[in-house]
C-alpha cells in the first residue's frame, strides 16, 4: 500500500485502456494500492499527454507538487 499522495493523469483520447487485458477488478485493485490518489482526465489528448497538452499537464503537476 502506498500512503503518499499520488496523481493519476490520463488522456481522454488514449487507447491504452482498451489495449490492456486487465479486468475491471484488476484495475480497481491496482488503483486501490494508492490510499491518497487523485485521478484526472485531460481533454483533447491521448497517451502522449506531455506532447498533446504540455501546458495543461505542467500546470496540473505544479499544482499537485505545491500541495
Among 44, 38, 53, smallest CA distance to 8 is for: 38
Q: What is the CA radius of gyration of the chain?
A: 13
Q: What percent helix, strand, coil does the chain show, rounded to 5?
A: 45, 20, 35
Question: 38: which strand partners?
Answer: 7
pLDDT tens digits for range 36-60: 999 999 999 999 999 999 999 999 9
pTM to 2 decimal places: 0.76
Res 67: pLDDT: 83
Under 8 Å between Cβ of 57 and 24: no
Amino acid at each position: 500500500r502506498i500512503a503518499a499522495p499520488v496523481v493519476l493523469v490520463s488522456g481522454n483520447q488514449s487507447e491504452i485502456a482498451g489495449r490492456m487485458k486487465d479486468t475491471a477488478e484488476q484495475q480497481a485493485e491496482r488503483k486501490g494500492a494508492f490510499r491518497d490518489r487523485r485521478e484526472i482526465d485531460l481533454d483533447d489528448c491521448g497517451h502522449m499527454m506531455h506532447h498533446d497538452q504540455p501546458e495543461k499537464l505542467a500546470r496540473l503537476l505544479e499544482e499537485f507538487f505545491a500541495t
